[in-house]
């Protein structure tokens, strides 16, 4: 923590005093909430002498704030745990293109904005978690199949407010079209074990508590539970396994944590260095080992836990096209009554 200054949303004055104009620094507005990031920023500061100042809030709050601040914004980078938020930020004119050959070299095209406005730097798979005793993985196949009557009262998932679900739904709209996506969502809501709520970890806990049998979650939350300091959480994780859906067709939905250079970045050069650092082998390994996310850089080796979950086919939908489907996804949730 020594080189990283974490600042709350409303402590803007503190940010300004913390930023001595002569010091080399970079200002990050981050919606990520993982301990791994503090380690990454520390390593970056050690390697470059550039201090990282972080403002944390949820992605929509950060986007609003960038809009309000305009060209007075101290932010250099916007970081979120979802590609959809970066797509929206670009649409609002809050970002500028980063021309970095390193990004093109290290990040597959479908995981970044092809004009350079943002890039994924961690990859996450949204999968089906299931109870090892009550569900046989041979019963599982696709996201779509969770809408079948056999799953009535057994499906757990968080609310439609969650960006992870919004981006998943956008990918389903892209694959099936609005009508089929709506039909699916309507059936899925009928199969839900309870009102959608809580975070991904809570869904896993609800499986073990017997509230439901399957849940839609991001894989790394299983990694976080398995490695939790809390023995109860570790015990919960041991009763649950992961299934990668849609392997026979379009692949499992993947999202990214993404980062983009803000339109008025005062420290653009340092910002580019930080983005390139996040894509380095060292940083990608830290992300995979500490937060159990997948590297975006395909040449970086996976740690044993990720390897144990197996290789999988991923949906290659270009994430910079998500914007076309996010609004429809909202309509689908609304019509389906997915709270």
Return residues touching Fe ion (CB under 5 A): 81
- Shortest spacing between CB 139 and Fe ion, in angstroms: 27
- Shortest spacing between CB 57 and Fe ion, in angstroms: 15
Of 81 and 107, nearer to Fe ion (C-beta) is 81
Where residue 37 falls (left for φ over 0; alpha for ψ -120 to 50; beta otherwise) is: alpha
Of 284 and 291, nearer to Fe ion (C-beta) is 291
d(CA 182, CA 172): 10
Of 81 and 128, nearer to Fe ion (C-beta) is 81
- Shortest spacing between CB 254 and Fe ion, in angstroms: 14
d(CA 122, CA 257): 5
**Residue 63 and residue 88 in contact, taking contact as beta carbons nearer than 8 Å:** yes
- Shortest spacing between CB 199 and Fe ion, in angstroms: 8
- Which residues sit opposite 5 in a β-bridge? 53
Of 167 and 262, nearer to Fe ion (C-beta) is 167
- Shortest spacing between CB 272 and Fe ion, in angstroms: 25
Of 58 and 330, nearer to Fe ion (C-beta) is 58
Buried b / exposed e along 31-68 (16+ C-beta atoms within 10 A): bbebebbbbbbebbbeeeebbbbbbbbebeebbebbee
Residue 31 CA from chain centroid, whole number: 10
| Nearest of 108, 104, 89 to residue 315 by alpha carbon | 108
| Nearest of 92, 111, 73, 102 to residue 267 by alpha carbon | 73
**Residue 252 and residue 114 in contact, taking contact as beta carbons nearer than 8 Å:** no
The distance in angstroms from the start CA to the end CA of the chain is 38
Of 84 and 266, nearer to Fe ion (C-beta) is 84
- Shortest spacing between CB 264 and Fe ion, in angstroms: 28
Of 81 and 242, nearer to Fe ion (C-beta) is 81
- Shortest spacing between CB 216 and Fe ion, in angstroms: 13
Any idea of the CA torsion for 122, 281, 42, 290, to the nearest 10 degrees?
A: 50
Which residue is nearest to Fe ion, using beta carbons?
Answer: 81
């Amino acid at each position: 923590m020594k080189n990283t200054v974490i600042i709350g949303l409303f402590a803007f004055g503190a940010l300004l005093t913390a930023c001595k104009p002569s010091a080399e620094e970079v200002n990050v507005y981050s919606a990520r909430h993982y301990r791994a990031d503090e380690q990454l920023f520390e390593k970056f500061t050690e390697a470059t002498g550039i201090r990282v100042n972080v403002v944390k809030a949820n992605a929509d709050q950060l986007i609003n704030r960038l809009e309000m601040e305009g060209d007075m914004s101290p932010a250099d980078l916007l970081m979120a745990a979802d590609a959809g938020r970066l797509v929206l930020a670009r649409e609002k004119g809050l970002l500028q293109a980063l021309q970095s050959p390193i990004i093109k070299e290290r990040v597959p095209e479908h995981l970044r904005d092809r004009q350079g406005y943002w890039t994924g730097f961690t990859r996450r798979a949204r999968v089906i978690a299931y109870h090892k005793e009550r569900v046989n993985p041979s019963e599982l196949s696709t996201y779509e199949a969770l809408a079948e009557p056999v799953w009535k009262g057994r499906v757990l998932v968080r609310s439609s407010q969650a960006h992870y679900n919004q981006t998943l739904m956008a990918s389903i709209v892209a694959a099936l079209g609005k009508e089929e996506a709506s039909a699916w969502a309507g059936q899925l809501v009928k199969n839900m074990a309870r009102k959608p709520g809580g975070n991904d970890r809570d869904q896993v806990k609800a499986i073990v508590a017997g509230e439901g049998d399957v849940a839609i979650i991001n894989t790394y939350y299983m990694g976080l539970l398995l490695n939790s300091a809390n023995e109860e959480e570790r015990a919960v994780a041991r009763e649950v396994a992961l299934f990668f859906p849609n392997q026979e067709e379009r692949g499992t939905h993947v999202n990214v944590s993404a980062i983009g250079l803000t339109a008025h970045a005062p420290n653009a050069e340092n910002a580019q260095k930080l983005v390139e650092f996040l894509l380095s082998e060292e940083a990608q390994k830290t992300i995979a080992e500490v937060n159990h996310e997948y590297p975006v850089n395909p040449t970086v080796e996976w740690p044993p836990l990720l390897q144990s979950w197996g290789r999988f086919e991923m949906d290659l939908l270009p994430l910079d096209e998500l914007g076309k489907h996010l609004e429809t996804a909202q309509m689908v949730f609304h019509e389906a009554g997915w709270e």
